[in-house]
Copies of this chain bind each other. A is one copy, B any other.
Amino acid sequence: MARRARKQRPIQTLDRRGLRHPFAPQSIFSDDETAHIHDQACHVLAHLGMKILLPEARELLKRAEAKVVDETVHFPRDMVDAALASAPKTLVQKAPNPAQDLDIREGSMIFAPAGGCPNVSDRIRGRRPGDLESYVDGVKLMQHFDVIHKLSPAPEPQDVPVHLRHYAMMETQLLHSDKPLSVYGRGRKQVTQCFEMIAAALELSDDAFSAAPWCSCVVNTNSPRLLDNPMAQALIDFARAGQMIVVTPFCLAGAMAPITVAGALLLQHAEALAAITLNQIAKPGAPVMYGGFSSNVHMKSGAPAFGTPEHIQMTIGSGQLARHIGLPWRSAAGVASNTNDMQATHETLMSLWATLQANATLTFHGAGWLEGGLTFGFEKFIQDIEALQTFAAIAQPLDMSEDALGMGALEQVQPGGHFFDTDQTMTRFATAFAEPVNADLRSYGTWEKAGAETADMRATRIWQDIVANAKPPAGAQDRVERIRPMINAFTDAGGANIVD
């Protein structure tokens, strides 16, 4: 392209870890309105209360002066205030590789991929229930891209019996990745075994393990105003072990939440405060994130919808509520589309941009979600990486040097000329622009002659190549070797059943 010979040098690889939000948070509420919703949420918790199924949790709350009527817990305002005061305002989630540790605080921009998907799909093997093979492939993809900061549990390895599945998932995470780990809250026995496996794999003493969060667990409420046994158990057990809880009511306005943006967020906020309060009463100062994943249903059909105006507004409002209580928080992208089409990317980008507008600390489901989360799509994962890497590039500082401003380049080029071989271009061409992941920028004719491949077809080659060439990261084999005897012993002892 340039007529002058260029000194070839390698394309500089951007380090996409430790990202900070480039834009100021937007708002849908005034500060007064945000405070009012918080007050009303406290009112809901005090007067309507939250149904909590786990007797141990009710007992804990009762001892802390909550009023308990049958299974319903009424939270006094000062109990909620105390929990918000003790909850940490900044967190570091530790990873097997310290270079992958997450600095979690206001302004952090952290991305996690699709999580919790029971199914998996790709263009080679089709759509099918998740299995261990596809989970391994998924973790390899999560490990490959540095804009993915944290592992998510997906696709679900359904071919492994559920009482043994946490062993396979832990082994897979530790063997194929060195990023922050994810643990399901499926009952005390499974959770405790996971903690033991992590401590053994990473050679942590009990004190070292409980001194920092080495794994995290998403706790959903059962909206409206219900907390089931495994979730309440996780809130307690993770707190006591010093491990991280990500509280996430999933409020679909018009179905399990009020039909308005304000009403759905009021419910989300009340439920999140209840979960945070239980968590902090179990152990004050325990690592916990506020969270919300609220969208709306389509009222004609009752189907969940994502990337909608209401989803965007609720995401932005969630950020305001999180900053009101001063906690780092999680948000999420979402997709309803059943396939890798324009709808899928529309929904992902609408909801991802909302998380930017909202300054979400941690964005879940940032890559690979399809079908409202029922399927982890490999091609979709690759396409979504393009979006996350775009955000990572925007978050880099802008070069405003005199050389960048380019008065010299302007002087070198005559009217109607071009800048291909200015000194400025020569110096910068290799690193000037972010390299696309999956975009095809060729002209129509060239693209058509080359087979007219669509974005999903190109993505297939990309994930296949990554999966085929992935190697366990440094130290991973050793980490897994350390827990193999433990897994064998747990398995021989019958595994660990999940708790309803």
Contact = CB atoms under 8 A, between A and B. Distances in A.
A26 interface: yes
Interface string A223-247: 0111000000000000000000000
Contact of A262 (B51, B307, B400, B454): B400
A494 interface: no
Nearest to A257: B419
Chain A interface bracket (under 10, 10 to 19, 20 to 34, 35 or more)? 35 or more
Nearest to A296: B433
A204 interface: no
A254 B434 contact: no
Interface in A170-202: none
B441 A298 contact: yes
A350 B349 contact: yes
Q: Which 7 A-B pairs give the minimum distances between C-beta atoms?
A: A263-B406, A309-B393, A51-B415, A258-B406, A349-B349, A303-B441, A345-B345
Interface string A417-460: 11110101100111011111011111110011000101110000
A48 B432 CA distance: 25
A343 B455 contact: yes
Nearest to A349: B349
A266 B405 contact: yes
A399 interface: yes
Contacts of A399: 260-262
Interface stretch (A278-286, A323-331, A333-341, A477-485): A333-341
Contacts of A374: 444
A363 to B, nearest CB: 15
Given A258-B419, A261-B398, 10 more contacts: A44-B410, A254-B433, A256-B418, A261-B404, A262-B406, A299-B432, A341-B341, A343-B455, A346-B383, A374-B444
19 contacts: A24-B26, A224-B415, A254-B432, A258-B422, A259-B406, A260-B399, A260-B405, A260-B406, A266-B405, A267-B410, A296-B433, A299-B429, A304-B441, A337-B439, A337-B440, A338-B440, A340-B342, A345-B346, A345-B349
Given A260-B424, A303-B441, A342 B405 contact: no
A341 B424 contact: no
Contacts of A29: 398, 400
Contacts of A416: 51, 222, 224-226
Given A312-B390, A342-B341, A262 B398 contact: yes
B337 A390 contact: no
A310 B258 CA distance: 40
A294 interface: no
Given A313-B398, A441-B304, A341 B454 contact: yes
Given A263-B409, A338-B448, A442 B258 contact: no
Nearest to A121: B444
Contacts of A257: 419
B262 A341 contact: no
A347 interface: yes
Given A304-B441, A350-B390, A259 B340 contact: no
A387 interface: yes
Interface string A1-40: 1000000000000000000000110101100010011001
A77 B37 CA distance: 53
Given A266-B406, A336-B439, A256 B398 contact: no
A417 B223 CA distance: 8
Contacts of A433: 253-254, 296, 298-299, 305, 308-310
B262 A343 contact: no
A198 to B, nearest CB: 33
A275 interface: no
Given A224-B413, A258-B410, A456-B342, A40 B303 contact: no
A466 interface: no
A394 interface: yes
A493 interface: no
A267 B413 CA distance: 11
A230 to B, nearest CB: 15
A426 to B, nearest CB: 9
